[in-house]
Structure 1
Amino acid sequence: MTGTGRFPHLFRPMRLGPITLANRIVFGAHPTGYAEDGLPTERHAAYYAARARGGAGLIIAEEQSVHPSDRPRERTIRGFDPAVVARHRKVTEAVHREGVPILAQINHNGGQSTSLYSRRPLWAPSPVADPAFREVPKALERQEISEIIDGYGLVAGHCVEGGFDGVELQCAHSSIVRAFLSPATNRRGDRYGGSPANRTRLLSEIISEVRRRIGPDLVLGVRLCCDELVDGGTTLEDAIAVARVLEASGKVDYVGASIGVSTAAPHLDGASMHIPPGYALFVANALRRAVDLPVIGAGRFKDPVQADRALADGHCDLVDVVRGQIADPDFAAKARAGAPEAVRVCLSCNQDCVGRVRANRRLGCVENPRVGREFLPALSSRRAGRDVLVAGAGPAGLQTALAAARAGHRVRVYEAERAAGGQVLLAASTPGRAEFGVLVRNQLTECRRLGVRVEYGRPVDAELVRREAPEVLVVATGARPRRPAWGRGRERVVDVRDVLSGRVRPSGSVLLVDEVGFHQATGTAELLADRGCVVEVVTSAMVVGQDLATTLDLENWCVRATAKGIGETCDHEVVRVGECARTGRLEVELAYLPTGETSGRTVDWVVCALPQAPLDGLYRALRRHPSVQTLRVGDCVAPRRVDMAVIEGERIGTSL
């Protein structure tokens, strides 16, 4: 069955203001970090064109700043710079060549920003510091409000000149307009504050100015925050009232529905796998029932089945699939072909998309190493048809195999264990992290499509290599736990991998040592707590699982840890582990790093999440083999996170 038959709601064309969309799949606006000197680049053009070519019905390009006072990120697009117009044309022409319309999102982040890059005071309706940035903004004066309105109009005009099919106003997660709409951040006593009508005034005036600048033949949409989830902030009822004002104006063609504020509820601004798919559909549904404007629904749509169901159930008129189309630019085309099982499903891990952008890096994807590199020609193989053996079916080995197969080589993968995945499978066994295993499922699906043979229970050694005589051996044997000096000789001092693999099953009280700062410790802590253990996590860092902040997981981890009674001790390191002669329990000595003061714990088990060591014996034994080119990839080079394993596998596989 074709996608139009299998997903009839996704592929029903619709009218959006003055334009017609071929389907209901939107590639919504999101920061990419691809701008240079405040201007769009060829990265943008190729990135958006790839999603248009892959079948998206509508592209909405990332936000542009409307005023010099707003520069929340180093690579923010300066929409007010006249030089932006020529760059816009390159982006819009690339997308239009694929027959898909593209809108531009414009915004001023207000107080949800930093003066680090602009070196100017932040602007906001009132001097209320944002809880994340903690920087007190300057309350806008009347002349500055006029500047903001004029700025929206100017940037909208630049978008028209640049060939966009319309404009979206970002009034949702991070926006000065949202701050004016919210009683929590708008404490003004003039005509722009106080009553709901006054708080809506700035948005109404911006809409009038933008519509004047773009004319009647282009689309104008508004993305609303439908519930700030902040005490005294905008509620769903407030958002519905605003949507009715927009509809009554006759100047707006659609509304987008989102939930939460990016600096007060960050776990909902690009929700990770711990948040269920479709989590924000209830606000889209409420808007759709209240107004006749088309509503774009958002909220972690992972596959075409979920997206079509959201439309079928009447929650929204269009679905915003962002990370799903980052991971697989052909998401829509595969759905249309009736092959949703071929979609490279997003993990919602946030490591290379949200995480990189929040770290002021260019957006990427754990699963798709071509993200942000679409403008570059694919790496080409030196010569096709080589006989390639990959030792290890973890993410690095599988990515090497499928990349080499795409390049025309004959590839087989031997895995010593009974299943593929390596440490990814262990990570996926912790509470709420099962979706992480989809990475390996996606890789195996692609390997099967390309004819790569994967065999299990096949450890590779020098004798096997001599016997099979491949032209190329790629060693992807991963890493091994590194035992701490203070734990040697203690049977109940174990690694998280021992716990997750089932080799040991701790009980009673457990001290979990976190020196990695990511899911290894926190996921294992939750698993043990769920099994009835009394768990305390100790770390030398200032926060347990400190890197979870970049993937928007830290807040949720803290909530879950508190609910499960998991203790946390920071700024401490383990000095010594002994054993009580009378009870056999472990006696752990901790040192408080700022002062060196020591304290003790008596526990049944110590579980370690520590930096690992490369498992590189096979590579070292064969690296000078006279007739086999021997390479290594992934953790057996240097233990890192999965994004580097995949990128490295892609690079080696395509360049053999």
Structure 2
Amino acid sequence: MSPATTPPAAANYPHVFRPITVGALTIKNRIQYAPVVSNHAETLTGAFTHDLLAFVGAQARSGAGLVTIGSSPIDFDRARDFYGCLSVTRDTDTGGLSLLADEVHRYGAKLSIELTHAGAISNFRYPNGPAFAPSVIPGIHDPATTKQIDRDEMDEVKQHWVDCIRRLKIAGFDMAMIHAGHMNLFASFLTPLLNHRTDEYGGTPENRMRFPLEILAACREEAGPAFGLEMRISGDERTEGGVSLDERVQFLNAAAAYIDLVNISTGGFLNPLAIAYTHPSYHLPRLLNVETAAKIKEQIPIPVSVVGGIVTIDEAEEILAAGKADMVAMAKSLMADQELVTKARLGRTDEIRPCLRCLDCMRHPHKGAPFRCAVNPVTGRELQYREIPPARTKKRVLVVGGGPAGMMAARTAVARGHEVTLWERSDRLGGRLFECASLPLKDTYPPYIDWAVRTTNGCGAKVVLGKEAIPEAIAEEAPDAVIVAVGAELIMPPIDGIDLPHVVTVVDADLGLKPVGANVVVCGGGLSGSECALGL
């Protein structure tokens, strides 16, 4: 595309849409789709499925230059940390893998996959012997069961990495990500918190780096010069006594002989809050790892990608423009709007559906279910909802309720070709979400409400505020169909005294509708109660 025809937003985000050379690869822009486990692979075997193909295709359609599939264990029997991980461990896997590569390449993106050995984080719902660790340490799923990996087993693990690289090359992948963060097996060799060995693989920083560097050297030998290798690390383990920044830089300078890109994440399983740092919600600051990435970038010779709490394309541009990273990795925002990067490139940023950072997406894979998104019903259902089919018969549809569900229903019904009217009893759209947005820590909620209200008002539906859906009014409207989306009601538990005048609901407290005084007891320690207490 010539400069004269460059889309306006691409010009507004020059650093985002500048291609980058990573090893022998040229990547079309600086956005990386960070690794996520969609749980669409076959649960017990990790085999390819068409649901997975549809999900990965949506990742590529987002417009990201590099798509990295999440958490594929190098040993499917004893290295997994999730349900539904994609297997790269059998030669017969290459057929399905090649379909994934073809799908991503259709959109001009490069395809990578995160290869991991979970080590002490191994998921004991699928046990096959004790978890490997550099030393006998508590396992996360079964604290009593870990095994200090011996030399023969180390050679076996190293060969697993090499074999996975070989299969990915055959399948047409462009890169592989070596997962060396979050205190998995690779990372646990590096940290003095977990590596208590007394042989040549423990003790000094140089010894603790020895096995990880042997793995990287073997992977590079198999990969050759044309296949890309990236590596994910925890820039900060978030645990006292962990790997220092200087040690981390020392390791990365040694690793730079073998890898083309490093991805800066954070956290490790010894810290109970590790999952919060690794997958930051609105409770944690945005741009969580950017300053650490910037310090590392200044001291190593290879490109740096950063992940963690990066929500908008504007934030990505700011990070890149400031020289704090060479690429920006995002995931949750790209699930909230599966065309985010493309919309930004085409100047349609006002259409981008904002991410709430609510982490509802992470709730599902940890219980063995596919990804879902609180604001995008298509995410995780790409095969089912590949497109919105036009209605066979145009109908007059009445939507009752102007909260998130009612607005989504109205927009979808209009997209299908129906004549839609939406009634909302109050004087505004937004429903309960509007009430949640009053809390200062939920700074992502107002942008989503603004987007939902704006797109609903502009979709072609007739929006009527201050209209209650009583039977007589519905009969007078005489719609062909009614969609009821009246939202949730507060549950009042049967507690003596709950109806006393000084007892207020969490909604009344959050919105400031009733005074709460200076001496407050919050009854209930769930998310609503905890956030109310923080707000007070």
The normalised TM-score by structure 1 is: 0.77
Q: Which of the residues 113, 127, 130 maps onto 1:121? A: 130
* 1:367 equivalent in alignment to 2:372: no
SS in 2 for 1:354: helix
Q: Which of the residues 61, 83, 100 maps onto 2:109? A: 100
Q: Is 1:342–1:445's contact at 8 Å kept on the other side of the alignment?
A: no
Counterpart of 2:221 in structure 1 is: 212
* Shift of residue 205, structure 1, vs aligned partner: 0.9
In structure 2, stretches of 5+ residues that fail to align are 1-6
Q: Which of the residues 254, 258, 262 maps onto 2:265? A: 258
For 2:415 and 2:463, locate their aligned partners in 1 and report how far apart those are by CA, in whole Å.
16
Counterpart of 1:487 in structure 2 is: 497
Aligned residues: 523
- CA offset digits 1:465-486 (Å, max 9, x no partner): 2333222222222233344442
Instruction: Trace 1:338-417 onto structure 2 (pairs within 5 A).
Output: 338-351=347-360, 353-376=361-384, 377-378=386-387, 380=389, 382-417=391-426
For 2:61 and 2:493, locate their aligned partners in 1 and report how far apart those are by CA, in whole Å.
51
Q: Is 1:392–1:413's contact at 8 Å kept on the other side of the alignment?
A: yes
Instruction: Trace 1:120-519 onto structure 2 (pairs within 5 A).
Output: 120-130=129-139, 134-247=143-256, 249=257, 251-262=258-269, 264=271, 265-351=274-360, 353-376=361-384, 377-378=386-387, 380=389, 382-485=391-494, 486-487=496-497, 489-514=499-524, 518-519=526-527
- One-letter code of the match for 2:399? V
Q: Is 1:72–1:117's contact at 8 Å kept on the other side of the alignment?
A: no
- CA offset digits 1:626-647 (Å, max 9, x no partner): xxxxxxxxxxxxxxxxxxxxxx
- One-letter code of the match for 1:48? V
Counterpart of 1:89 in structure 2 is: 98
* Shift of residue 54, structure 1, vs aligned partner: 2.7
* Shift of residue 281, structure 1, vs aligned partner: 0.2
Counterpart of 1:601 in structure 2 is: none
* Shift of residue 207, structure 1, vs aligned partner: 1.1
Structure 1 residues 443, 263: closer, same or farther in 2, change over 3 A?
Answer: farther
For 1:257 and 1:231, locate their aligned partners in 2 and report how far apart those are by CA, in whole Å.
19
Counterpart of 2:34 in structure 1 is: 28
- CA offset digits 1:270-305 (Å, max 9, x no partner): 100121221110111011100120100112221111
* Shift of residue 266, structure 1, vs aligned partner: 1.8
- One-letter code of the match for 1:61? I
Structure 1 residues 331, 174: closer, same or farther in 2, change over 3 A?
Answer: farther
For 2:511 and 2:296, locate their aligned partners in 1 and report how far apart those are by CA, in whole Å.
47
Structure 1 residues 173, 490: closer, same or farther in 2, change over 3 A?
Answer: same
For 1:160 and 1:80, locate their aligned partners in 2 and report how far apart those are by CA, in whole Å.
13
* 1:7 equivalent in alignment to 2:13: yes
Counterpart of 1:77 in structure 2 is: 86
Q: Is 1:45–1:95's contact at 8 Å kept on the other side of the alignment?
A: no
For 2:228 and 2:174, locate their aligned partners in 1 and report how far apart those are by CA, in whole Å.
6
The alignment yields a C-alpha RMSD, in angstroms, of: 1.9
* Shift of residue 405, structure 1, vs aligned partner: 1.1
SS in 1 for 2:138: coil
Q: Which of the residues 28, 35, 50 maps onto 2:58? A: 50
- CA offset digits 1:431-472 (Å, max 9, x no partner): 412323444333223324422233322222223223332222
| Shift >4 Å, 4+ stretches | 130-133
Q: Is 2:124–2:142's contact at 8 Å kept on the other side of the alignment?
A: no
- CA offset digits 1:480-507 (Å, max 9, x no partner): 3344442365222332223234332111
Q: Is 1:27–1:59's contact at 8 Å kept on the other side of the alignment?
A: yes
Structure 1 residues 493, 424: closer, same or farther in 2, change over 3 A?
Answer: same
SS in 2 for 1:316: coil
For 2:89 and 2:277, locate their aligned partners in 1 and report how far apart those are by CA, in whole Å.
30
SS in 1 for 2:21: strand
- CA offset digits 1:501-547 (Å, max 9, x no partner): 43321114333322xx642211222223xxxxxxxxxxxxxxxxxxx
Q: Is 2:390–2:415's contact at 8 Å kept on the other side of the alignment?
A: no
Structure 1 residues 97, 483: closer, same or farther in 2, change over 3 A?
Answer: closer
Structure 1 residues 416, 29: closer, same or farther in 2, change over 3 A?
Answer: same
For 2:192 and 2:296, locate their aligned partners in 1 and report how far apart those are by CA, in whole Å.
20
% identical equivalent positions: 28
Name which one, 1 or 2, has greater alpha-carbon Rg: 1
- CA offset digits 1:564-590 (Å, max 9, x no partner): xxxxxxxxxxxxxxxxxxxxxxxxxxx
Q: Is 2:388–2:415's contact at 8 Å kept on the other side of the alignment?
A: no
Q: Which of the residues 528, 531, 535 maps onto 1:520? A: 528
- One-letter code of the match for 2:154? I
SS in 1 for 2:482: strand
- One-letter code of the match for 1:252? I
Structure 1 residues 483, 327: closer, same or farther in 2, change over 3 A?
Answer: closer
For 1:509 and 1:382, locate their aligned partners in 2 and report how far apart those are by CA, in whole Å.
57
* Shift of residue 131, structure 1, vs aligned partner: 6.0
For 2:426 and 2:370, locate their aligned partners in 1 and report how far apart those are by CA, in whole Å.
36
Counterpart of 2:4 in structure 1 is: none
Counterpart of 1:647 in structure 2 is: none
For 1:148 and 1:336, locate their aligned partners in 2 and report how far apart those are by CA, in whole Å.
42
For 1:143 and 1:154, locate their aligned partners in 2 and report how far apart those are by CA, in whole Å.
17
Structure 1 residues 482, 107: closer, same or farther in 2, change over 3 A?
Answer: closer
Structure 1 residues 263, 59: closer, same or farther in 2, change over 3 A?
Answer: farther
Structure 1 residues 105, 481: closer, same or farther in 2, change over 3 A?
Answer: closer
* Shift of residue 334, structure 1, vs aligned partner: 0.8
Counterpart of 1:562 in structure 2 is: none
Q: Is 2:83–2:365's contact at 8 Å kept on the other side of the alignment?
A: no
Counterpart of 2:25 in structure 1 is: 19
Counterpart of 1:112 in structure 2 is: 121
For 2:414 and 2:183, locate their aligned partners in 1 and report how far apart those are by CA, in whole Å.
44
SS in 1 for 2:325: coil
* Shift of residue 133, structure 1, vs aligned partner: 5.4
Q: Is 1:415–1:459's contact at 8 Å kept on the other side of the alignment?
A: yes
Q: Is 2:235–2:289's contact at 8 Å kept on the other side of the alignment?
A: no
For 1:367 and 1:74, locate their aligned partners in 2 and report how far apart those are by CA, in whole Å.
24
For 1:223 and 1:131, locate their aligned partners in 2 and report how far apart those are by CA, in whole Å.
20
For 2:461 and 2:395, locate their aligned partners in 1 and report how far apart those are by CA, in whole Å.
13
- One-letter code of the match for 2:517? S
- One-letter code of the match for 2:236? D
